[in-house]
Amino acid sequence: MAQNLSQDDHYARSVEEARKSARRFAVTNQISKVAVLLLLITGAIVFMLPFYVMLVMALKTQNEVATTSMWTWPASPSFDNFREVLSNPNVSFALFLKNTSFLTFISTIGVVLSSSVIAYGFARIEFAGRDRLFLVLLGTMMLPGIVTMIPQYVMYAKIGWVNTFLPLTVPAFFGSAFFIFLLRQFYMGIPRELDEAAILDGAGHWRIFTRIIVPSSKPALITVAMFSFMGAWRDFMGPLLYLNDPDKQTLELGLRTYMALRAEKWHLLMAASVLVVIPLVIIFFIGQRYFVKGIVMTGGK
Amino acid sequence: MKSSRWLRLAMTLASTLLCLVAMAEQIQLRFVVWDGEEAMVAIRRAAEQFESRYPNIKVKLETVNANYQEKLLAQYAAKVAPDVAMMDPGNFQKYAKRGALLPLNQFFDTPGFDISTYYKEIVDPHSYRGIVYVLPRDIAPCGVVYFNKRLFQEAGIPLPKNTLNADGTWNPKANWTWDFFGPRPELREKDFIWVMQQLTKKDPKTGRTTQWGYLPAWSGLLVDMFSYSVGGKYVDDYEEPKKVLLGDTRVVQAHQYTADLSFKYGFMPSSVELSSVLQTNARQLFTQQKVAMFQSGIWEVPGLRKDLWDSKTGKMGFEWDIAMAPAYKDGTLRFPTGGSGYCILSQTKHPKEAWLLTQWMAGAPGMTAMAQEGLAQPAITSLAQQQPWIPDASTTGAMRYPENRIITHLGVPFVQFGPTSMYWSDVSGVMYQNHGKIWDGTSDAKTEIPISVARGQARLDVLQRNQKLGDFSWLSGAGVGVVMLATLFLWVYGPEFKKRRSSREKRENRIAYLFVGPWILGLLLFTAGPMILSLLMSFSDWDIIQPAKWRGIQNFSEAFTTEARFWKSIQVTTIYTVVSVPLGLAMALALALLLNVKVRGIPIYRTLYYLPSLSSAVAASLIWRTIFRADGGLLNLLIYGADGKGNFLGLATLLHPVATANGQVNWLGNESTALPSLILMSIWGAGGGMVILLAALQGVPQFYYEAATVDGASPWRQFRNITLPMISPAIFFSLLTGFIGSFQSFSQAFLMTQGGPNDATMLYILNLYNQAFLNLRMGYASALAWILFVIILIVTLFQLKMSKWVYYEGGK
């Protein structure tokens, strides 16, 4: 559809009209801009609430958490809770941070590399049994993990992977159904013209993948990287099941120490939670910078 | 650098060798507990003492703070169970009756060991038919009434004192008592209910209660105490129940009286009024001096000390102490108790050493270490009567509180443990589902309990039907697995065999499999096996611990015909999914469009909008609780206003039929509003979908819009004709995975409502989870999972069929 609109003479004739209407709408535009800004700010306040509560509780003393409303700002905010969490000899934050970072980096690299390649196969190559195989891929997401948990554990125990990082990293290199599906959708939205030109130049699938598809789907790849990073960082059941040694624990497991039965320490829990979440906020902040208009793909500009 | 690495390698090798030599007599024991940080310090200290006493045994201490049972079960199934593990009366039977625990009686002749030094009251609930499976480490009688001395003095009530018999035991008749029919003013401070009344204060102007007399830490505690004290029982045999006795008039009366103390007399905040801001309600209200007394176990002490102790003045915020819970008017006193201990898993290769460790940790060394931290009352009688558990003259500062700690020992003869049957979680899960209506005052015990009895008895009857089932044949199981993989293979490739291919197509095929190969390999290596196994298990009776038995299609027929909860959960899940997925998607799309505008600071806005998806689920659930609270919740504040007389958008009129006692809505506690509340919560988590759609929006070439503007297309038409088609692949993705995920959603209901009230939020997976890990019916849970699989598959196929609206710029 768009191709027809971009014919040159048509374009030139319309520019003058567009300018006129633009002037006419300038005032409305100003108002709508203010409306959007208001909407953005209101929304931001609403969406900030959980983090605000976490922060407020993290800055209060234990007594204050128990006696004041969770919305009120602490009388004298203090970073003591953060200090206590970071220096707690029983729940070694530094060690858990090291373990979590290792697990997260390895599995994120694995997921992004494998899923992006696999998705290309499903999105851009016609091959025997593709559509049905893709349904099998979707099918692997449809069975609740609760019932495969024990068989999977037994399997990993049989090959001696329990109490190692292997069950939490190796499978990442074989793709994740969710991310393969996501990337396939994005790849399929990329026009074929460039591929065809590249094929004429003698390029194979691997070159098309690395030179055309990957650069055109940066936002999608960044999304996958962010999601898998956050997923691995916050994973709880995996590390809980597969890691036994105290020195192999992760941050998310460490958080539970502050939630143990009948000994809830909300002030420390929230301080630790803020510390655990901050790297993710930073990652997201950096990641979303790549959410800018990608390369214009049809070359029509 | 390089040489140091070699050096390190050599050293590692050498030390490994040394270890191997040492290992000839070194034994390692894995020891797992679920305790929190302070208790771990004590346990570690005791374990180190054990290691120095027995140098040839090394103790590997592990802690599992959440999902303890799941992990233990998985380890047992994989034959990598720990040697010694923490256990409690509510759970041990599930393991013991299936042969997973060693009977401990065989070790009782160990010199220096004497089981009679332990409280019988906590050894019994850890035994089955006289055989001890768990050696108790602590007992926690829940007959501890914490009281605020200042409020007693203000009301002019004498402080409770201990009146003992001549032999030094507790005299229930001579201390305060209670009766079913309200306060007995003639007895004054000897009547517990009268004391509650005197300590309750109302604001004369508003009529609102500003101070309550009393609060149990959980309402079941008071029901248990009332029921047990008047001779009521819940089932005929606590170890092996045959009959549900909840319908006993005394038990019904106990339930009703507990509710009456809130709704009729107003001496005690109701669960509606509590609707928890934080989990430790009772203690919190006590430290805020909003309740004068609260009842719980001794474990509240460390928290109270911390909350109330002012290190500057060296004083408590107010003076407080503990007293024994009151007896029934005839002098009968019974209350529930907590307690736990250590068991030895039958897979251990070192039973003797495991016993040494158990005896150490659940013996004087372990108990003393725990008592020093003030964490757990020793299960050995003599240790519970002396330092460090009981304060003496040498105890100073905050540790002196509470002074009357001897009642923890004096109270032991009056404890009664609840049912320990391995079926209890299953039966009680069905039985108590409608009790929320008693606790929010919308119904009464006389109406609700007969319903629970019928449900509970029916469930118990089913569980007792001891079916003779044949072994699960693994050979035929493996056969079925192979056949299934082959069928799948044929289904995928069958249509392809006949096709003739050009050599170019063949080459494409080979290249394609290089791309998708990793996934196929992963499928075969990691995913297919467990999936097929779960399908096989869906035809079995499998409790995770024992080998599976063949059950044929009975799991499926049970789900479809006999389990009422199955249909209820399908209904709840369908409503939840059908409403929340489109709403969530619309929200995600709206946010994505909003966050795609060019405004200064948009990266910050995007990050802020994504924060709920990053914040801790616990923090989020705390916030939602305050939003949904019946008493002063934000949502009610909006509808009813601060004076409670408002009628926002006519909602108050609309909601009138579901309003509770205070005239407002208890959102999470009401059957008709609980699910909508969860749906509202789920929309909050639209951040993930927002990111995906935002990423998709970046792929829409700008010049399309420029051209459309030039053509004079309105923003709406641009959105319809450019934006929507261009991001339709991403919308389709969100829709499809949204449905798949929503059918399997779990955590919100788990955190907020546990499926209640009366199963109104019993999402499918919640039921499945309970069946799998609470009732240990993994075979049945697998059947449920595969039924859900088929449902999701049908929904997905339908969506794929209807996917003509999805526009792929790159073609199919």
Q: What residue spans of B744-777 are helical by DSSP H?
A: 747-752, 764-769
Which pLDDT score is estimated for B532? 92
Query: With an 8 Å Cβ cutoff, is B642 touching chain A?
Result: no
Q: Residues A252, A254, A255, CA angle at the centre, nearest 5°?
A: 65
Asked if the model's pLDDT at residue B661 lies above 70, the reply is: no
pLDDT averaged over chain A?
85
Strand, coil or helix: what is B338? strand
Beta-strand relationship, B337-344 and B84-87: antiparallel
Q: For residue B19, name the pLDDT band (cuts at 50, 70, 90).
A: low
Asked if the model's pLDDT at residue A301 lies above 80, the reply is: no
Nearest-by-CA chain A residue for B812: A188
Whole-angstrom distance, CA of residue B24 vs CA of residue A11:
87
Among left, alpha and beta (phi > 0; psi -120 to 50; other), residue A251 is alpha
Least Cα distance to B94 among B491, B422, B337 occurs for B422
Asked if the model's pLDDT at residue B48 lies above 90, the reply is: yes
Instruction: Please check whether residue A300 is in contact with residue B630, taking contact to mean a CB–CB distance below 8 angstroms.
Output: no
Which class for B156: exposed (0-12), middle (13-18), buried (19 or more C-beta within 10 A)? exposed
Nearest by CB to residue B280, choosing from A151, A237, A264, is A264
Which pLDDT score is estimated for A18? 60
Rounded to a whole number, what is the largest CA-CA distance in chain B? 103
User: Quick one: average pLDDT of B442-451?
Assistant: 92
In percent, how much of chain B has pLDDT > 70? 95
A-B contacts (CB, under 8 Å): 402
Sequence letter at residue B393 = A
Worst-scoring range by mean pLDDT, B452-466, B502-516, B626-640? B626-640
Whole-angstrom distance, CA of residue B51 vs CA of residue B493:
61
Tokens of B108: 């009782």
At B62-98, the pLDDT tens digits run: 999 889 999 999 999 999 999 999 999 999 999 999 9
Higher-confidence position of B113 and B623? B113
Whole-angstrom distance, CA of residue B761 vs CA of residue B748:
10
Query: With an 8 Å Cβ cutoff, is B704 touching chain A?
Result: yes
User: Chain B window 273-312: which residues touch A at a Cβ cutoff of 8 Å?
Assistant: 277-280, 283-284, 287-288, 299, 302-303, 306-307
Q: For residue A94, name the pLDDT band (cuts at 50, 70, 90).
A: very high
Nearest-by-CA chain B residue for A242: B71
pLDDT averaged over chain B?
88
B335 Cα to chain A: minimum distance (Å)? 19
Q: What residue spans of chain A are helical by DSSP H?
A: 2-5, 8-24, 26-58, 62-67, 80-87, 93-124, 130-139, 145-158, 166-169, 177-188, 193-200, 205-208, 214-216, 218-234, 237-242, 251-257, 266-287
Whole-angstrom distance, CA of residue B701 vs CA of residue B690:
19
Q: What is the distance of C-alpha B422 from the center of its chain? A: 18
Query: Inter-chain contact B768–A220, Cβ cutoff 8 Å?
Result: no
Residue carrying the six token digits 């009948």: A262
Least Cα distance to B543 among B95, B52, B2, B159 occurs for B95
Which pLDDT score is estimated for B17? 61
Asked if the model's pLDDT at residue B672 lies above 90, the reply is: no
Which pLDDT score is estimated for B452? 93
Nearest-by-CA chain B residue for A131: B492
Least Cα distance to B325 among B139, B142, B159, B138 occurs for B142
Asked if the model's pLDDT at residue B335 lies above 80, the reply is: yes
CA distances, B525 to each of A112, B488, B715 (Å): 19, 16, 51
User: Quick one: average pLDDT of B782-802?
Assistant: 95
Whole-angstrom distance, CA of residue B564 vs CA of residue A136:
32
Q: What is the ipTM for the molecules in this complex?
A: 0.88
- Secondary structure, 3-state, B124-163: HHHEECCEECCEEEEEEECCEEEEEHHHHHHCCCCCCCCC
Query: Inter-chain contact B607–A142, Cβ cutoff 8 Å?
Result: no
User: Chain B window 36-55: which residues touch A at a Cβ cutoff of 8 Å?
Assistant: 36-41
Which pLDDT score is estimated for B665? 82
Query: Inter-chain contact B809–A191, Cβ cutoff 8 Å?
Result: yes
In percent, how much of chain A has pLDDT > 70? 85
User: Quick one: average pLDDT of B292-316?
Assistant: 87
Least Cα distance to B718 among B707, B705, B731 occurs for B705
Instruction: Please check whether residue B548 is in contact with residue B98, taking contact to mean a CB–CB distance below 8 angstroms.
Output: no
Q: For residue A2, name the pLDDT band (cuts at 50, 70, 90).
A: very low
Q: Which residues contact B435 (CB under 8 A, 6 or more apart)?
A: B255, B448, B452
Q: For residue A6, name the pLDDT band (cuts at 50, 70, 90).
A: very low
Q: Partners of B135 in the beta sheet?
A: B342
CA distances, B701 to each of A301, B704, B715, B722, B726 (Å): 9, 6, 16, 10, 9
Whole-angstrom distance, CA of residue A238 vs CA of residue A225:
19
Whole-angstrom distance, CA of residue B267 vs CA of residue B214:
7
**Edge to edge, what strands does the sheet with B201-202 contain?**
B201-202, B209-216, B291-296, B144-148, B320-324
Q: For residue B346, name the pLDDT band (cuts at 50, 70, 90).
A: very high
Instruction: Please check whether residue A93 is in contact with residue A229, taking contact to mean a CB–CB distance below 8 angstroms.
Output: no
Whole-angstrom distance, CA of residue B228 vs CA of residue B254:
9
Whole-angstrom distance, CA of residue B808 vs CA of residue A88:
54
Instruction: Please check whether residue B536 is in contact with residue A151, taking contact to mean a CB–CB distance below 8 angstroms.
Output: no
* Residues in chain B within 8 Å Cβ distance of A179: none
Residue carrying the six token digits 């209060």: A60
Element of type H or E holding B633: none
Whole-angstrom distance, CA of residue B70 vs CA of residue B545:
12
Query: Inter-chain contact B703–A301, Cβ cutoff 8 Å?
Result: yes
Interface probe for A, chosen from B38, B497, B616, B788 (most Cβ of A below 10 Å), is B616
At B180-226, the pLDDT tens digits run: 999 999 999 999 999 999 999 998 887 778 899 999 988 889 999 99
Q: Residues B58, B59, B64, CA angle at the centre, nearest 5°?
A: 155
